[in-house]
Structure 1
Amino acid sequence: MSSALAIEPSPANGPSAVPPPPPRNKSKLRNLGFGAAVGLALVAALGWFLLHRGLESTDDAQVDADIVSVPARTSGVVVALHFVENQAVKAGDLLVELDPDPARARLAQAEATLEAAKATAAATEADERVVEAQATGGRSLAQASLQGARVGVAASRSQIAEGEAQIASATAARTRAESDLERARALFAKGALSKANVDRATTAFDTAAASLDQARAHLSSLQASAAQASSRTAEAAARLEQSRDVDSVVGQARARASTAHAQVAVAQAARDLAALELAYTRIVAPHDGVISKKTVAVGQMLSAGQPIGQLVDLDHVWVTANFKETQLSEMRPGQHAKVSVDAFPGVELTGAVESLAAVTGARVALLPPDNASGNFTKVVQRVPVRVRLDGVPSGLPLRPGMNVDLTVDTRG
């Protein structure tokens, strides 16, 4: 008791008193514990690094799908609606009906124009056949006429030669009859010949003179016929020359027929277009999906190209993840991916990388950055990556635009 009181510091000594040193075994335990903690931390850090090495993650990702704006393909007034907002539809389902009366009237007009064009084409085809037959027949007729005229000219020449021979014979007969008459008159004057013989000689002379006149008249007629035959020959030659250009005449007729057939094709195309416009008064769903964002009402006037709603294909959804450019060095199509959707905590989906975009998101933005402005600030760019989802549960209502967390394993 007295010894304990002796070593206890007195109040007078105060802070100058030196505390006894701690036990050496406690200091060693603290050092060992600190070292163990540091070692565990290093092991944990190394394990985390090894476990997450090659895993690229981003929370800048959304569910995506094909969203089609369903347009009106012709103008018209809406007379009936067959869908409501957020309705599931099938391909070909009727969505909107437009007033079909104007389109029906245009179709009837186009059909009438088509029938008129067909009638005109049929008439030009008949004209072509008639023109070809007439041209060909006219040429053959002209050739035959020319040949006949030439034969007539040749015959006339032969007849003229015969007529000239007849004149020569008649002239000789008249000369002989004249000599006989003069001799008979001389003998009658001497009393050596009777009056009857003189009369017979006179009659023979008159007959020979008449025969000569007749031969001369016949020759004149033959010469006139020959002149007519020559005229006919010239006329036939002119007609033949005129009918030689048969190919041009037939070609013109065929060109008119071709033009008429082209008009038929134009009218047919106009008729088909009018039929399409009539069909376009019934706006149908282009594929399966959910129709949303309805922008049409009964009585509204729609113009061609104006949308009536947005059709979302929920049967084929994927994820579009915007990775930093520094995360893409080892990323390839086909690598495994894990997806967590913010709307469904605890649900983990799997997928695979399908493709990497050819440009960064900023480059295809509405207002892309102008790096040549002089005040350039380097910003890490993001590249859209498309990820296919595998085995999505049928009851999981994924909607385009939902936020997701995505991790791609680039080690594979």
Structure 2
Amino acid sequence: MNTTNINTNTNKTDRLISRITTIIAIIVVILLLIWGIKTLFHHFNYEETNDAQVDEYINPVVAKVTGYIQEIRYEENQEVKKGDTLVIIDNSEYAAQQQEAEASLLNAKAQVDILRTNVTTASQASKVNQSQIAAAKAKLVHQEQEYDRYKKLYDVESATKQQLERVEAALAVARSDYQTALDAYQASVARINDTRVQQEALEAEIKRREAVVTKNNLNVSYTIITAPYNGKMGRRTVQRGQLIQAGQVIAYIVDWESGKWVVANFKETQIRHMAIGETAHITIDAFPGQTFTGKIESLAGATGSRFSLLPPDNATGNFVKIAQRIPVRIRLNGKPEELKALAAGMNANVSVSKE
């Protein structure tokens, strides 16, 4: 009796386990079928690649002048805003050059003022000389008339030779005075012209010195290095008191204002259905479960291997046919604060519809 009951219970347990196993197997098969159908549907309707990375502009911050670093106002990986001061360079030398250039400019402007005064004075002197010419001309005309009169009197013996000689001498003096007045007027005009030429030359020199002042002002302003846009600083490679040269890279900054994009390297056999402006779906390995969207901005004009330092040459005899990759640039949609967490170099998976 007991043996029969045990066998009956065992059979019931086996049937229950078999039934549960069958149900589980059916559920697994159904799930696999759903996954397979979904995968096949996605494969036939989308081109996808996991050879993709997030990218953004990472630009160098370059010193424009040579000098010793006086102060550093940023730390590694610090978020900065456009206009924030990053580095201050000692500007003592550039400030002295600026003061010297400004003093030279003021001196040149003062000399121009003096020359303008000289032109005015010479113009007044020229007017005086013109008046003297008129007076000398009137005196000369009078003496010529006197000479003609005495010459006629002398010819009819109504005047003595001594009187004629005295009038003739007075005429010579009048002529000399008239020529002297003319020469003085010409000299005054020449002085005016010379002064004006000097003034023009000095005004040109003023423009040159103004350019020097502007340049020195720029050099002084260049001693304060600021963030060119909103972004995030990279590694800090300089120290206080360090001598840096003009053109030297002192830091790198990630540009947040220019947006972010993904460079997806699709196989050459995948890009025939792609077009600029088409929507792409992107997942980032660092943020599983979150999907981003973007639009195709451009397709590269050559395969990625052609942009390498040493592009392969298939004519060397070791040719192996390999599917080439075409870089596709996809601009990420979203506001800067929404994409802030995405960093350049992060791996991504990209899918683009074939339709």
| TM-score bracket relative to the smaller structure | 0.7 to 0.9
- For 1:407 and 1:134, the matched residues in 2 are separated by 91
Aligned to 1:339: 282
1:100 paired residue number: 91
Match of 2:311 in 1: 369
Instruction: Give the alignment partner of residue 394 of structure 1, picking from 311, 332, 338.
Output: 338
Shift of 1:242: 7.4
> Corresponding residue for 1:161?
152
In structure 2, what residue type is equivalent to 1:398? L
1:151 to 136, 142, 150: 142
Among residues 385, 392, 396, which one is paired with 2:328 in the alignment?
Answer: 385
| CA deviation map 1:281-310 (0-9, x unaligned) | 221111111111111111111111212211
SS in 2 for 1:59: strand
**Closer, same or farther: CA 50–342 of 1 in aligned 2, 3 Å:** closer
Where structure 2 has 5 or more consecutive residues not aligned to the other structure, the ranges are: 1-32
- Post-superposition shift, 1:322? 2.6
Task: State the AA in 1 paired with 2:351.
Answer: T
Question: Take 1:125 and 1:347, find their aligned partners in 2: how far apart are those partners?
Answer: 77
Asked if 1 retains the 8 angstrom alpha-carbon contact of 2:260 and 2:339, the reply is no
SS in 1 for 2:241: coil
> In angstroms, what is the RMSD of aligned CA positions?
3.2
SS of residue in 2 equivalent to 1:339: strand
Residues 5-404 of structure 1: pairs in structure 2 closer than 5 A: 52-53=43-44, 55-135=46-126, 137-139=128-130, 141-142=132-133, 144-162=135-153, 167-168=157-158, 215-216=159-160, 219-233=161-175, 236-237=178-179, 240=182, 243=185, 250-314=192-256, 316-365=259-308, 367-369=309-311, 371=313, 377=319, 380-391=323-334, 394=338, 397-404=341-348
Check conservation: 1:156, 1:223, Cα contact below 8 A.
no
TM-aligned CA deviation for residue 147 of structure 1: 4.5
Separation in 2 of the partners of 1:376 and 1:158? 123
Aligned equivalent of 1:20: none
Distance (whole Å) between structure 2 residues aligned to residue 372 and residue 281 of structure 1: 52
- Greater CA drift, 279-288 or 49-58: 49-58
Looking at structure 1, the residues matched to 267 and 114 of structure 2 have their Cα atoms a distance apart, in angstroms, of 74
Are the structure 2 counterparts of residues 374 and 238 from structure 1 closer, same or farther at C-alpha, using a change threshold of 3 Å? farther
Letter of the aligned partner of 2:140 in structure 1? A
Distance 1:243 1:54 in 2: 99
Distance in 2 (alpha carbons) for counterparts of 1:275 and 1:112: 13
Aligned mates of 2:131, 2:312 — CA distance in 1: 83
Is the partner of 1:329 in helix, strand or coil?
Answer: helix
TM-score norm. by structure 2 comes to 0.77
In 2, Cα distance between equivalents of 1:376 and 1:260 = 73
The equivalent of 2:4 in structure 1 is none
Contact 1:332 1:410 in 2 (8 A): no
Q: Deviations over 1:130-154 (max 9, x none)?
A: 3344445535533552353133212
Per-residue CA deviations over 1:13-61 (Å, capped at 9, x if unaligned) read xxxxxxxxxxxxxxxxxxxxxxxxxxxx9xx89x977754463322222
SS of the residue corresponding to residue 298 of structure 1 reads: coil
The Cα shift of 1:248 comes to 6.0
Identity %: 31
Q: Secondary structure at the match of 1:293?
A: strand
What CA distance in whole angstroms lies between the structure 1 residues aligned with 2:62 and 2:39?
A: 53
Q: Hey, what's the Cα distance between the residues in 1 that align with 2:139 and 2:310?
A: 92
In 1, Cα distance between the equivalents of 2:128 and 2:143? 22
Report what 2:3 is aligned to.
none
- CA shift for structure 1 position 342: 1.6
Task: State the shift of 1:231 in Å.
Answer: 4.7
Figure out how many residues of one structure are paired with residues of the other and give that number.
318
- Letter paired with 2:55: D
Q: Which moved more, 1:219-228 or 1:291-300?
A: 219-228
Structure 1 residues 135-175: Cα deviation after superposition (integer angstroms, max 9, x where no partner): 4553553355235313321232224434555x44xxxxxxx
Deviation at 1:89, TM superposition (A): 0.8
Cα separation, partners in 2 of 1:124 and 1:326, compared to 1, 3 Å: farther
The CA distance in 2 between the partners of 1:370 and 1:255, in whole Å, is: 68
Question: Residues of 1 paired with 2:110 and 2:46: CA distance?
Answer: 76
5+ residue gaps, structure 1: 1-40, 169-214
Higher mean displacement: 128-137 or 271-280: 128-137
Partner Cα separation in structure 1 for residue 270 and residue 307 of structure 2: 20
Amino acid at match of 2:197: A
Alignment partners' CA distance in 2, 1:270 and 1:236: 51
